[in-house]
Structure formats: structure tokens, C-alpha cells
Amino acid sequence: MMKYLLIFFLSVTTAVYAQKAPEPYGALPSTRQLAWHDVEVYGLIHFTPTTFENKEWGYGDADPKTFNPTDFDADQIIKAAKAGGLKGIILVAKHHDGFALWPTKTTDYNISKSPFRAGKGNLVKEVEQAVRKNGLKFGVYCSPWDRNNALYGTDKYLAIYQAQLKELYSNFGELFMSWHDGANGGDGYYGGAKEKRSIDNTTYYDWKNTWTITRKMQPMANIFSDIGLDIRWVGNENGNAAETSWATFTPMAPDGKNEAVPGQANYPQSPGGIRNGKFWMPAECDVPLRKGWFYHANEQPKTPEKLFDLYLKSVGRGAGLDLGLAPDTRGQLHQDDVAALKTFGDMVKHTFENNLAKNAEVKASNTRGKKYNTAALLDHNKETYWATADQVHTASIELNLKSPTTFDIISLQEYIPLGQRIEAYTVEIFEKNAWKKVYDGTSIGAKRLIKLDSPVTTNKVKINVIKSPVCITLSEIGLYKKTS
Ligand code: FUL
Ligand code: CA
């Protein structure tokens, strides 16, 4: 009996040992950041008196009565966003002009002074409700720079700004993002003073304590700023991350010596991140659907093809795509924007709905054990992953597609809860009886979408991980053919 027990015990421990998950590597994503990675594409709505002034930056002097949309329809905007594949919406609840879109106690310069819903309206609420009804996540942008407020620039303003955040954090449900822009152009209305006010944006907003409020009241809200905390600005408003794009980052001041505080980003490092950076701080690529963040009748939305390209260069580089949506003076998205979003959304949906590798036979040069075998690569579940044994830092995976298959996109995903591990890899296809390299890559992370210049047809594909400091994980592999 004892002998059998011992054998039983030994086999159980060996099995458990063989199945042990890899040790995590480097900086790791938080639960809140993992939830953000799932959103991938979201929108940023700009709609304030500035829309009615046909400007990009309101000075802060617009009469609240100018905020008078003829036919505001939150549902129209959110449905269009949803058709575009957007899974979250951030509303600019207050832009630089200082006009609050909810009936705040913190300033008179707010929606209750406008004709909107006869002074009884709450636009943040209407958008939040439409967002939730359509199954999207909600976030807010409250500009720290306030060109209307008489106290801006004095030591009394921060308390006002923090009180605004508290209102936004208490009345609109769980937020997935709290977006803090860094703009400060200096001049403004400031209660009639009409002057230039400069502040030191590295200290004035006391971000450390201000964000303590965010953490306490909205623990799932990802804090976005030029340097993080959770999500870093990608450093441009073109909608793309760098070809090599690490989710890890150490915000460094431009002097290259000191760690940066918000307002001090070393922007040249933002598009690519920093390999082995101290923090998990993936990039957000924010880009307006049109040219400006606000609606201007003479501008056009980007084409669906352009949007798809930006998708590949943001989401496909492990970053997020934050698309600016600009309602017109009716308070709706223009029909051209609606059409562009819909075609873009369909393009993404139809391109990625059919993984052409799904029935492939997969062989890996190394596998950590049953739980981490290659079946995990094609089960359409990013929580399951293939991994190599601890000491194995390079490996090849061969997909046998059974019949010639045509594709032009290769999708790779690392199992990021264990960190960003892979540093270099190649992709090969079998053509004319020989292996031919079609891509040389570096970073993968949450998602890497490799777009080939033209479609290839083959029945065998090989991924070779050629550099990793630790054992390898991959949660999904996909082959896709872009639809038009
Ligand atoms: C910037 C602002 O200055 C722009 O007006 C816009 O809101 C953009 C998303 O962020 O910092
Ligand atoms: Ca999987």
C-alpha cells in the first residue's frame, strides 16, 4: 500500500512540476491594464462650445448659449462607434475652454447655463448611458488647463480641478480610462483677465496626489498621460506606434538622467517604448478620425483603408488605437464619418473572423508539457498558451496547413500576464520546395500584426523565435487574408 501511495505521490508531483507555469519576466501588466489591452480600439469625443466656434482650442470666452446642438443624439454617435469596432468611449467632459458638459458645482461655466435641454441637461450622463446600453466601456477626459477659470494659475485652482475629477469619478459608473492631456498654451480668458498665465506643469497639478484620488475612486481606470502611469502617450497624433514597440517603459526626462514626471516626457522614446523598462506602460495612439479633434465642415474623415493601416500600426504593435470622434453642430456624427467607421469596422471584423490556420497541424521544436502544448496556439483563447521549457530560449513552430492557403497578415500574441519576453523572431513560408523568410521581427507583446506587401500562397509556415532572455510563451497564432 505504502509503495503504491509513494508512486502515486511521485507521479503527481512530477506531473505538477512539468506543468509549472514559466516564471514571469520583467515589468508586468496590472489587472486594469490587462482589461485595457482587451479594448484595443476606442474613441475620444470632442464636443463643446468650441465645436460651435469652429475652433480647435476654445479661448474660454464663448457664451454658454453658443452650446446649442440642434439634434443631439448620443445613441447615433455610439452606434456608429460600435459599428467601427470601437469597444470604449472617452468623452471630453471638459476641454481647455473650461466648459463642463455636466452640471458641476465647481464652476458656473457649465452646461446648465446653456440652452441644451433647457438648462437641465447632462451630456456626460447621456453619453455614458448610450455607451453602457451599447455594451462599450466608458472613460473621461477632463482638461487640467482651463482657459475660462479666473483662478487658473493660482494655488486655488488645483482643488477645483480635483473636485471636478471627484464628480466625474462618482457619478458615471466604472471608468476604464482617466485621460489627462498635457497641453498648456498659456493665454486664455481667465474670468475676463485675458492674459497669459504660465504654470510649471511638472508641479502645478500635483499629479502624485491627484492620481491618488483616481486610484481610490476608480481603481479600474487606466491613467493616461504623456508618461503614463498606466498608459503612455505614443508621442504623436498620427495614430501609429513604432515598428519595434515595447509595452515596457521607464519615463525619463529629456536630460536622459532623471526619471520624468508628467509634463516632462522624453518624446523620442515614446513611440517604441523601452526594452526592459521599469514599468508596464503600453502606448496609446490617439488620432482624430478627421483632421482636427473638433468638427470642421471643410474636413473629411480618413478612408477605411487608412484606418485599417493605422489599426495595423497601433493595435498590431501592441498599442491601443484611440480614434477622435467629432460630432457636428447637430450633435451627431456626419454621415461620412458614420460610413467610414462602418466600412473600417467591417474590414477588421471580416479580415479577422476566419483564422486560416485554425485547422493546421502544429509542430514545435520544444514544448513545456501537456498544459502548454501547441493546441493552445489555435484555440482562439488568449488565456491559454504554448511555452517552452525554462532553459529553452529559442524555438520554431511549424504550421502545416494541409492545403495551399493564401494570406497577407500574420498575427502573433504573447501571453502578456507573464511579461513581454520575445526579442527577435522570423517568419518563413515554404515555397518552391524551400523555406523563404518573409519577415524579420523584434517585439510582439499583446499583439503583433504583420502585413505582407502582397498575399502569399503556401501550405507551410514557420515562426522562429531567435532571441528571448527567458523561456518563450505564445498564446495565439493567426493567418488572415485582408478583405477589401
Ligand atoms: C491634446 C489637446 O490639446 C487637443 O485639443 C486634443 O484634446 C487632444 C486629444 O489632446 O492635448
Ligand atoms: Ca490560446
Cα of 231 from ligand 2 centre, angstroms: 25
Cα of 187 from ligand 1 centre, angstroms: 16
Q: What is the pLDDT of residues 341-375, one digit of tens each?
A: 999 999 999 999 999 999 999 999 999 999 999 99
Residues 330 and 398 in one domain: no
| pLDDT, position 26 | 98
Q: Per the domain annotation, does 260 fall within a domain?
A: yes
Q: Per the domain annotation, does 17 fall within a domain?
A: no
| pLDDT, position 9 | 47
Tell me the three cell numbers of residue 78: 455610439
Mean pLDDT is lowest, of 141-145, 152-156, 201-205, 392-396, for 201-205
| pLDDT, position 183 | 83
Q: Which of ligand 1's atoms lies nearest the C-alpha of 324?
A: 9
Residues 342 and 368 in one domain: no
Q: Per the domain annotation, does 12 fall within a domain?
A: no
Give the separation between CA 346 and CA 344, rounded to whole angstroms: 5
CATH number for 374: 2.60.120.260
- Give which of 429, 396, 392 is closest to 410, Cα–Cα: 429
Residues 332 and 423 in one domain: no
Q: Which ligand is nearest to the CA of 355?
A: 2
The residue among 352, 374, 409 that closes a domain is 352
Q: Per the domain annotation, does 3 fall within a domain?
A: no
Tell me how many domains the chain contains: 2
Question: Which residues have CB less than 5 Å away from ligand 2 (the ion)?
Answer: 376, 379, 381, 384, 475-476
Cα of 444 from ligand 1 centre, angstroms: 29
CATH number for 241: 3.20.20.80
Residues 126 and 208 in one domain: yes
Q: What is the pLDDT of residues 112-149, one digit of tens each?
A: 999 999 999 999 999 999 999 999 999 999 999 999 99
The residue among 352, 374, 403 that closes a domain is 352
What H or E segment, with its residue span, contains residue 403?
strand 395-413
The residue among 352, 369, 401 that closes a domain is 352
CA distances (Å), origin 412, targets 215, 374, 397, 427, 432: 32, 14, 12, 11, 25
Give the separation between CA 332 and CA 293, rounded to whole angstroms: 14
Percent of the chain with pLDDT over 90: 90
Cα of 474 from ligand 2 centre, angstroms: 8
Q: Per the domain annotation, does 18 fall within a domain?
A: no
Rg (CA), the chain: 25
Residues 319 and 258 in one domain: yes
Residues 229 and 315 in one domain: yes
Whether the predicted pLDDT of 271 surpasses 80: yes
* Best of 44, 57, 293 for a ligand 1 pocket test (most atoms within 8 Å of beta carbon): 293
Residues 383 and 473 in one domain: yes
pLDDT confidence tier of residue 11, bands split at 50, 70 and 90: very low
Cα of 422 from ligand 2 centre, angstroms: 17
Q: Which ligand is nearest to the CA of 382?
A: 2
Q: What is the pLDDT of residues 55-99, one digit of tens each?
A: 999 999 999 999 999 999 999 999 999 999 999 999 999 999 999
Q: Which of ligand 1's atoms lies nearest the C-alpha of 95?
A: 7
Q: Per the domain annotation, does 11 fall within a domain?
A: no
Q: Which ligand is nearest to the CA of 57?
A: 1
Cα of 247 from ligand 1 centre, angstroms: 23
Q: Which of ligand 1's atoms lies nearest the C-alpha of 143?
A: 7
Residues 382 and 470 in one domain: yes
Residue nearest to atom 4 of ligand 1 (CA): 293
> Ligand 1 site: residues with CB under 6 angstroms?
44, 56-57, 181, 183, 286, 293
Q: Per the domain annotation, does 444 fall within a domain?
A: yes
Tell me the three cell numbers of residue 286: 490617439
Q: 233 near 270, Cβ under 8 Å?
A: yes
Cα of 413 from ligand 2 centre, angstroms: 9
Q: Which of ligand 1's atoms lies nearest the C-alpha of 56?
A: 5
| pLDDT, position 64 | 98
* Best of 45, 181, 224, 225 for a ligand 1 pocket test (most atoms within 8 Å of beta carbon): 181
Q: Which ligand is nearest to the CA of 415?
A: 2
| pLDDT, position 263 | 79
Its domain, for residue 151, covers 31-352
Q: What is the pLDDT of residues 403-435, one digit of tens each?
A: 999 999 999 999 999 999 999 999 999 999 999
Give the separation between CA 393 and CA 472, rounded to whole angstroms: 6
CA distances (Å), origin 188, targets 155, 191, 293: 17, 9, 19
Mean pLDDT, rounded, of the chain: 95
Residues 374 and 332 in one domain: no
Residues 344 and 443 in one domain: no
Residues 294 and 408 in one domain: no
Q: Which of ligand 1's atoms lies nearest the C-alpha of 288?
A: 9
Q: Which of ligand 1's atoms lies nearest the C-alpha of 286?
A: 9
Cα of 57 from ligand 1 centre, angstroms: 8
Residue nearest to atom 3 of ligand 1 (CA): 183
Residue nearest to atom 10 of ligand 1 (CA): 181
Cα of 476 from ligand 2 centre, angstroms: 5
Residues 50 and 190 in one domain: yes
| pLDDT, position 2 | 52
| pLDDT, position 4 | 52
Q: How many residues does the chain have?
A: 484
Q: Which ligand is nearest to the CA of 371?
A: 2
Cα of 474 from ligand 1 centre, angstroms: 36
Average pLDDT over residues 264-284: 94
Residue nearest to atom 2 of ligand 1 (CA): 183
Q: Per the domain annotation, does 343 fall within a domain?
A: yes
Whether the predicted pLDDT of 462 surpasses 90: yes
Residue nearest to atom 6 of ligand 1 (CA): 293
Cα of 382 from ligand 2 centre, angstroms: 4
